[in-house]
A = this chain, B = another copy of it.
Amino acid sequence: MHATAIENLIEKFEGLPGIGRRSAERIAFHILERMSADEAKSMALCITEAKEKIQFCPVCQNLTDTSPCKICASPKRDASVICVVESPEDVSAIESTNEYNGLYHVLHGALSPMDGITPDDIKINELLLRLADGKVKEVIMATNPTVNGTATAVYISKLLAPFDVKVTRIAHGIPVGSDIEYADKITLVKALEGRQIM
């Protein structure tokens, strides 16, 4: 019995990560009752603008609105270390520790034979290309400590064996089976410090 425009709005929010029917209703009513028309317009504009402007960084494959991304372009970052993660959220989590000064490589997923995700489906080739000039001395495998994440780390470490590069694995300071994205900062720092050669 909601008005159509309200129902449409609720449906757009329902199904976003962590948002069920009730949360979607609360958000829709918040937009309708508490936001000004300008705020709502600005929100809508942000969605379309972000979608238009954001692309994959041609170097690290992270989401970016500059090419290359700010991290890859920064002269202050240590270009001899690449930290390989599954998702842009993981970059954001590690950056928030302010303890890592190298570059990243975002795979956009992990190998998962059960789901049909093969090496060609994630950004592994793009990582190999970055090692060609020999400037990279260490690759830190910071995929999630799950079955798929670990398998991906092992697979990539084998691929990197021919290169003159140290391959390390982020330490299991992070509880096994959980997600890097949810780790607290201290645990993430410990995990980075305790990395082992694999």
Contacts and interface: CB of A to CB of B under 8 A. Distances in A.
A108 B44 CA distance: 25
B9 A18 contact: no
Nearest to A87: B29
Contacts of A17: 23, 26-27, 30
B51 A1 contact: no
A33 to B, nearest CB: 7
- Consensus secondary structure, chain A interface: helix
Interface string A7-35: 01100100011110011011111111101
Given A54-B32, A65-B3, A69-B3, A9 B47 contact: yes
B66 A3 contact: yes
Given A29-B87, A108-B33, A3 B48 contact: no
Q: Which of A47, A63, A69 neighbours the largest number of chain B CB atoms within 10 Å of its CB?
A: A47
Interface residues of A, number: 57
Given A12-B42, A48-B41, A53 B95 contact: no
A91 B41 CA distance: 26
A117 interface: no
30 contacts: A1-B70, A1-B91, A2-B92, A3-B53, A3-B69, A3-B70, A4-B65, A5-B54, A5-B65, A8-B46, A8-B49, A8-B50, A9-B47, A12-B43, A16-B30, A17-B26, A17-B30, A18-B23, A19-B27, A29-B88, A31-B51, A32-B50, A32-B63, A32-B88, A37-B51, A40-B47, A40-B48, A40-B50, A43-B44, A44-B48
